[in-house]
Amino acid sequence: MTKTRFPSRGLYAITDSALQSGRSLEQAVVRAIAGGAKVVQYRDKSKDAERRQTEAATLVAVCRRHGVPMIVNDDVELALNTDADGVHLGHEDADLSAARSRLGNHCIIGVSCYNQLGLAEAAQRNGADYVAFGSMFGSATKPDAARAEIATVESARGRIYLPIVAIGGITPENGATLLDAGVDLLAVIRGVFGHDDPAESARQYAALFAGRAQDEQT
């Protein structure tokens, strides 16, 4: 099946099953998309393979109906088995070239680069579709994560032609600083799915991009 293309900018909403508290993950994702999410990533660190398969397949179907790519966090085989649009890889995950060989050229592959411009340049050379820097700010999801500097993102903007994603503690209030530095997509977990209405929280992030689009047209 034809995959959905990765967007050039926008809100990148990342799920966390621990935040659902009985709420339907499917409906939460639907609401996030309604609020303006341009990408969805399925992130679940549990060992429940059956549930992860079911949830990921459900979200693939939801996202495809709405024309939004669905990326699987860390798990190449889960991405393959659910026909997801792609996979996001960290430093402890599959090798980029191995993931590309397994998933094919039509799949989206993103790579975490933390605060290392060299990792982003290597990912670009090796065929990644986007790179991600973070944690940009203090993160409740990963409180011990190493911080990335805005200066690193600014340097990357001059050397990386792929979409640049920022993650980690991003709010509607501090997100504008990252967009000013050259970030293309803001990746958010709690800021979207940690709220009662993911649509409303997503709209607050989407407004940052809408405002810039208007500025560019004037």
Residue 216: pLDDT band by 50, 70, 90 thresholds? low
Span 70-95, average pLDDT: 94
* Cα gap 136→13, rounded to integer Å: 16
112 in active site: yes
Q: Supply the pTM of this predicted model.
A: 0.94
The answer to whether residue 43 is catalytic is yes
Catalytic pick from 43, 52, 100, 203? 43
Share of the chain above pLDDT 90, in %: 83
pLDDT band with cut points at 50, 70 and 90 for residue 146: confident
For residue 213, is pLDDT > 70? no
**Tens digits of residue pLDDT in 163-205:** 999 999 999 999 999 999 999 999 999 999 999 999 999 999 9
Q: What pLDDT, on the 0 to 100 scale, is given for residue 191?
A: 96
> Tokens at residue 32, please?
């996030």
Write down the H helix ranges in 36-92.
Answer: 49-65, 76-81
10: how many CB neighbours lie within 10 A of its CB? 20
Domains of the chain: 10-217 (3.20.20.70)
Name the active-site residue from 3, 9, 102, 142: 142
Of 81-95, 104-118, 138-152, 162-176, the range with the lowest mean pLDDT is 138-152
Print burial letters for 194-214: b (CB count within 10 Å at least 16), e (below 16).
bbeebbebbbbbbebbeeeee
The confidence score (pLDDT) of residue 214 equals: 53
**What confidence category does residue 22 fall into, taking pLDDT thresholds of 50, 70 and 90?**
low
Instruction: Over range 48-57, report the average pLDDT.
Output: 95
Q: Give me the pLDDT at residue 218, please.
A: 46
